[in-house]
Amino acid sequence: MSSTKIRSVAFSLATVILLLLVWQVVSGKPSRDDLYTYTKLYSNIAFRIEARYVEEIDTKDLIYAGIKGMMKTLDPFSEFLESKAYDRIMETTSGRYSGLGMTIFMKDNVVTVVSPMEGTPAYRMGLKAGDKIVKIDGKSSEGMTTEEASRLMRGLEGTQVTLTIEREGVEEPLEYTITRAVIEIKTVPYYGIVEEKYGYIRLASFGQQADAELYEAIEDLKSRNIEGLILDLRSNGGGLLTEAVRTTNLFLEKGNLIVYTRGRVQGQNKEYNSLSQPVLSEIPLVVLVDQNSASASEILSGAIQDWDRGIIVGNPTFGKGLVQQIYDMGDGTALKLTTAKWYIPSGRCIQKESHSRPHPEQFTETEPDSSEAEKKREEFRTKGGRIVYGGGGVVPDIELEKRSYTPLQLNLERLSIFFDFSVHYTAQHPDLPEDFEVTDEMIQEFKEFLKEKDFSYKNSLELDFEKLEKTAEREGSLERMGEQIESLRWAIEVEKEREFEEILDRIKKSMKRDMLTRLYGQKAVYEQVVLKTDRHIQKALELLKNKDEYKKILKG
């Protein structure tokens, strides 16, 4: 083995040993002899593979595979982060990066703009949803991944990048030279007034500016004399524990317990209390959650529920109650390690057992009986004596039925058909007003667009029909059943027409959403679609308007 390779292996093994030592520090008091014995075993095997394996092995891949193998024995949220993943986490929590400020995705193998963020260089220069980025600084984007394209478009603040754009309705490619800037990722992408006297705030994440942005939104809404507030935490996957505590402090009295942690090491046992008087203490509050509200979202909503400060509406939350710490390994990688569990004021642990990675011997052939699980749920009490249940996650005070996508809607969204139609339609109708409604003529044009795109999907009836057709063919009765099979085909097409009409309201909503995004941005989507049609928001408004019902729910 060459001296370079030996040094490479030695460096990689040093990284592994460092990881193991960190593990030792954070995981209590394992036997030092055992730790070093197994570390030696690991290094011996790695050297033997490197020296004797039949094919040449990449040392980095070998060592990283071993590290990732270690992580698989832990819970799903403990990870070894390579440089790109580490950078993304840092970017998400810090809430800023230097670039152009737009969301992109792959559409028909072309890097395509989903939406420029308001106030960013991309937005100011006039880039639009649906623009196809065909070149970046003269380099063709063909075959690029979105990650590669993002890397080329990002760079130091003040530097420039030139994009060549193809836009529907414009014959020649457009060239934009854009100056990069620091992009602030908003944790509160929107707030405003609903029905003249109720506030609405969308809190999308718990990055470093979450409490400051939420505070600013609350103060502004208070100055407009709101009579109630809707705080939307749906699909908020969480973020920083410190921000969860600070944002919750905006609603709870000074000294109130917000969350506490329990781990194997004494230093992980901590309590977090409100340190100052709340910004919003009297105004009625409704918090919206769903199955994708996790982590810090569950701390905030759980504390509000446990202190009877507001009503939780929506669907049971995700149930991520594990605390992770990030240890920088010094070479661009990091260890994200679970060190404790979160508990909310009533004593409930947020973590759902189903989200813990089981030992292989714990796998069983059958699922546990859900009714038995219900019976075993431990009861806890809120400050006012209402019964709440443990077992993970936060169960809303008012639970709304989850709406699933129909096969038709699922395929329209999956294939970005609404997005494509919005690009096509707004190119022909750029003066569409912000308060437009989707008309019958638009629906008819959308149907024609589906035909031009050769859009098709299979509903459950069609899938069953295909099974029947194959059985008839196998048994030699296909020709004999020809007339009946044609009748079934016709019936399936009629059923598909009925399915289209059945979800017509949802189709109109999706069409309007994507057209508004392209022409006016996300603010218009909230004001013209979300606040007017979202059923969770409508239920929250119903509760805020009915003060007797609101008080009755909080009294249990």
Residue ranges of domains in the chain, CATH in brackets: 3-73 (no CATH), 96-184 (2.30.42.10), 190-330+337-354+378-402 (3.90.226.10), 407-457+503-537 (no CATH)
Q: What residues contact residue 116 under an 8 Å CB cut-off, 6+ apart?
A: 100, 101, 102, 103, 122, 123, 127, 128, 129, 521
Q: How far apart are CA 128 and CA 119, in angstroms?
A: 13
pLDDT the model gives residue 364: 33
pLDDT the model gives residue 12: 53
295, 297, 416, 510: the catalytic one is 295
**Full DSSP string of 132-155:** EEEEETTEE-TT--HHHHHHHH--
Q: What residues contact residue 65 under an 8 Å CB cut-off, 6+ apart?
A: none
Are the C-beta atoms of 196 and 224 separated by less than 8 Å? no
Beta-bridge partner residues of 342 = 261
306, 397, 420, 534: the catalytic one is 306
pLDDT the model gives residue 114: 84
Please give the chain's pLDDT, 556 residues, in tens.
554 554 554 455 555 555 555 545 444 444 556 777 878 888 888 888 888 888 888 888 888 888 888 888 888 778 888 776 656 666 655 556 788 988 888 888 899 998 887 778 998 888 888 899 999 999 999 888 888 898 899 888 899 999 999 998 888 899 999 999 988 888 999 999 999 999 999 999 898 889 999 999 999 999 999 999 999 999 998 888 899 999 999 999 999 999 999 998 888 899 999 999 999 988 999 999 999 899 999 999 999 999 999 999 999 999 988 888 888 887 778 888 888 898 999 999 999 876 655 443 333 333 334 444 444 578 999 999 999 988 889 999 999 998 888 889 988 988 889 999 999 999 999 999 999 999 999 999 999 999 998 888 877 777 777 777 777 777 777 777 777 777 877 888 888 888 999 999 999 999 999 999 999 988 999 999 999 999 999 999 999 999 999 999 998 7
Q: How far apart are CA 32 and CA 506, in angstroms?
A: 61
pLDDT the model gives residue 170: 84
pLDDT the model gives residue 495: 84
Q: Is 420 a catalytic residue?
A: no
Q: Is 78 a catalytic residue?
A: no
Are the C-beta atoms of 62 and 49 separated by less than 8 Å? yes
Pull the structure tokens for residue 419: 């997005």
320, 508, 512, 539: the catalytic one is 320
Q: What residues contact residue 478 under an 8 Å CB cut-off, 6+ apart?
A: 469, 472, 485
Are the C-beta atoms of 300 and 237 separated by less than 8 Å? no
Could you tell me which of 292, 331, 314, 495 has the C-alpha nearest to residue 399?
A: 314
pTM above 0.75, yes or no: yes
Kindly provide the b/e burial profile for residues 460-489, where b requires at least 16 CB atoms within 10 angstroms of the residue's own CB: eebeebeeeeeebeeeeeeeebeeebeebe
pLDDT the model gives residue 373: 47
pLDDT the model gives residue 180: 93
Residue 553, amino acid: I
Q: Is 98 a catalytic residue?
A: no
pLDDT the model gives residue 366: 33
